[in-house]
Chain A
Amino acid sequence: MKLKSLLKSEKGFIRQSSVILTILILAPVISQDEFFAVTLCLSLVWGIMGLGWNVVGGYAGQTSNGHAMYFGIGAYVGALGLKWYGLSPWLTMWIAVILCMVVALVVGYPLLRLRGHYFAIATMAIVECVRIIFTNWKLIGGATGVMFYDKTHSELYSMQFANRISFYYICLGFMLIFIILSRVLEKSKFGYYCRAIKANQESAESSGINSAFYKRWAYMISAGIVAIGGILYGQLFQYIDPGSMLPLSNSMLIVLVVVMGGIGTIWGPVLGAFIMTFINQYARALFNQVAGLNLFIYGVLVVFIVLFLPKGIVSLFTEERLEALRKKLFHKKTKTEEA
């Protein structure tokens, strides 16, 4: 009975999810190209990180510019666990999540007292520190990074697949988990409180909300999700180094994925991640003679989206438009049936 009423109240969400999931499940059919498959996997990884950032940045309104830190820590835990101890990423991901949440607790404790720009700058500074530490830390490979291509275990154990499509479906599984998690958070007391803090922290406090507590949890959950993104990224390329994991641009890309797609929404980060990754990858491949042109194209697009669609691309798909589209499709179907 309870399940029934839940299904009923979540009808719209379930409908949206099933459409989008069907598209995502069928996506690898489009092309057998290796490059295309890698791009799809990457899109999902960025989507997962976007969903993670969205918890603290979208719902709780704390613009963290330092989420590359959790991305990096996650990837390193996965990589070193496999290389040194032969541990499966399926196991190390739990360690990574817990570790990132602990780091987030420690870092968040003082940092979340800051507001607005100050918080953004402080998080940025922390991730730079971490990058410099990782670059100079000989034990974990220093600036040369870690190669951890694994031949001794089965593909499923090491999460390193010769066939990218299998990996794609694993990523899709994780993304589905985080989409559902986001939805649960959004509809819970936690979600309401986060949005209240985002809207007006003073009001929230005077309505009985312990804003420090809720911000801290949002930050920790967010760090945990991004850690999983880091693990998946590592297993996709089997090579990581501080220069590609922890630069400022990664932190910014996580933010941009969400802002582009639609901040504080569930489908925004997913949509933003696909658009961002495809543009990035294909622009890089097409204009490989001009270094950095991909970023230029991407930058221009971001400017236009922020100017004309401040609520993200997802704001194009309003309820009314979706309804009209549904009617159109449905109408056509009935016509063909009549014929």
Chain B
Amino acid sequence: MAELLEIRQATKVFGGLKANEDISFEVEEGTIVGVVGPNGAGKTTLFNSISRAHNLTSGQIIFDGKDITKLHAYQACCLGMGRTYQIPQALEDMTVLDNIVVGALLRRSKVHEARAFAEEISAFCGLSEMNEKISVSLNVMQKKRLEIARALAGEPKLLLLDETMAGLNGVERVQAIELIRNIKAKGITILMIEHVMEVIMSVSEKVVVIVSGKKLIEDAPRKVTSDPAVINAYLGGGHNAGC
């Protein structure tokens, strides 16, 4: 399979802090890749670099065969990259459906067509019942779904999901996993940051572990969780002395 996204030696420096250092990995088309790591490891920074919310200090991002390292966020989105935020950033004064319409207008310039498509997407994400609600009134899970819906409405090739499971209870989590599987079935590649290992283990083909801004390991989920270096990073040095 071809690579949809390729990150080459991505480095991002904030002042004196190296948030990302020399990270390289690939995301193959049609797969789900998870990015895990302890708090403050630089996962969201990496996401912001990929989605072009800020510039890399050095390194390259190749998306769908094109070098997007210097592009603006909206241009990356036009090329087929959709994203969600860790803290949901809904368009607050607008209704749920209008939020999705904004996403859908990217590929459809007629409002009524975009509306029809937005309704489809809304149903796909299980939001149809709240189409006319103002997005401020939604709860966290609904807002996260709305973010996914808005990104999907732009018909992305690659979807970046930033902690879509955080703060969800068990039932909601099962629904969310199902949603992610359905998105994959549509042929959309997913790169997701996730803390909930249960989710990563059950859906992803590959996991990239980032610790203190550096890539520690990149492998299949089963192998990653048994890797002593990963356990060491999560639990600290002393615990695995006997391993």
Assess A207 versus B106: contact at CB under 8 Å? Given A187-B111, A188-B111, A192-B101.
yes
Question: Contacting chain A: which of B83-91, B124-132, B210-218?
Answer: B83-91
| Size of interface on B: residues with Cβ below 8 Å to A | 29
Give the interface of B toward A (CB within 8 A): 51, 53, 72-74, 77-78, 82-83, 85, 89-94, 98, 101-103, 105-106, 109-111, 114, 150-151, 154
Assess A199 versus B92: contact at CB under 8 Å? Given A207-B106, A209-B102.
yes
For A200, list chain B residues within 8 Å (CB).
89-92
For A204, list chain B residues within 8 Å (CB).
91, 102
Tell me which of A187, A188, A203, A211 contacts B91 (CB under 8 A): A203
For B74, list chain A residues within 8 Å (CB).
205-211
How far is B53's CA from A241's CA once the two chains are assembled, in angstroms?
A: 47
- Excluding A196-B91, A199-B93, 17 further A-B contacts by CB distance (< 8 Å) are A189-B105, A189-B109, A189-B111, A192-B98, A196-B102, A199-B91, A199-B92, A203-B91, A205-B73, A205-B77, A206-B74, A206-B77, A207-B103, A208-B78, A208-B103, A208-B106, A211-B74
Q: Interface centre among A193, A195, A206, by most B CB within 10 Å?
A: A206
10 contacts between A and B (CB under 8 A): A193-B102, A195-B98, A202-B53, A203-B85, A203-B90, A206-B74, A207-B74, A207-B103, A208-B77, A208-B106
How far is B85's CA from A203's CA once the two chains are assembled, in angstroms?
A: 9
For B82, list chain A residues within 8 Å (CB).
206
Tell me which of B72, B89, B94, B101 contacts A202 (CB under 8 A): B89
For B91, list chain A residues within 8 Å (CB).
195-196, 199-200, 203-204
Smallest beta-carbon distance B93→chain A, Å = 5
How far is B110's CA from A189's CA once the two chains are assembled, in angstroms?
A: 7
Cβ contact within 8 Å between B102 and A192: yes
List CB contacts (< 8 Å) of A193-251 with chain B.
Answer: 193, 195-196, 198-200, 202-211
How far is B110's CA from A188's CA once the two chains are assembled, in angstroms?
A: 8
For B92, list chain A residues within 8 Å (CB).
199-200
Q: Which residue of B lies closest to A199 (CB)?
A: B91
How far is B114's CA from A188's CA once the two chains are assembled, in angstroms?
A: 11
How far is B77's CA from A41's CA once the two chains are assembled, in angstroms?
A: 47
For B98, list chain A residues within 8 Å (CB).
192, 195
Cβ contact within 8 Å between B72 and A207: no
For A207, list chain B residues within 8 Å (CB).
74, 77, 102-103, 106, 150-151, 154
Tell me which of A187, A198, A205 contacts B72 (CB under 8 A): A205
Q: Which residue of B lies closest to A214 (CB)?
A: B74
How far is B87's CA from A202's CA once the two chains are assembled, in angstroms?
A: 12
Smallest beta-carbon distance B66→chain A, Å = 16
Smallest beta-carbon distance A216→chain B, Å = 14
For B73, list chain A residues within 8 Å (CB).
202, 205-206
How far is B43's CA from A294's CA once the two chains are assembled, in angstroms?
A: 58
Smallest beta-carbon distance A210→chain B, Å = 5
How far is B53's CA from A207's CA once the two chains are assembled, in angstroms?
A: 12
Smallest beta-carbon distance B225→chain A, Å = 31
Per-residue 0/1 for A285-311: is the Cβ within 8 Å of any B Cβ (1 yes, 0 no)? 000000000000000000000000000
Cβ contact within 8 Å between B154 and A199: no
Smallest beta-carbon distance B105→chain A, Å = 5
For B105, list chain A residues within 8 Å (CB).
189, 192-193
How far is B85's CA from A87's CA once the two chains are assembled, in angstroms?
A: 56
For A211, list chain B residues within 8 Å (CB).
74
Assess A199 versus B77: contact at CB under 8 Å? Given A189-B105, A192-B101, A192-B102.
no
Cβ contact within 8 Å between A198 and B89: no
How far is B103's CA from A193's CA once the two chains are assembled, in angstroms?
A: 9
How far is B83's CA from A207's CA once the two chains are assembled, in angstroms?
A: 8
How far is B103's CA from A189's CA once the two chains are assembled, in angstroms?
A: 11
Smallest beta-carbon distance A94→chain B, Å = 28
How far is B2's CA from A112's CA once the two chains are assembled, in angstroms?
A: 41
Smallest beta-carbon distance B37→chain A, Å = 22
List CB contacts (< 8 Å) of A165-211 with chain B.
Answer: 187-189, 192-193, 195-196, 198-200, 202-211
- Kindly list the 6 A-B residue pairs having the minimum CB-CB distance in the complex, ordered from nearest: A208-B77, A199-B91, A208-B106, A205-B73, A203-B89, A196-B102
How far is B106's CA from A192's CA once the two chains are assembled, in angstroms?
A: 11
How far is B106's CA from A187's CA once the two chains are assembled, in angstroms?
A: 16
Smallest beta-carbon distance B136→chain A, Å = 10
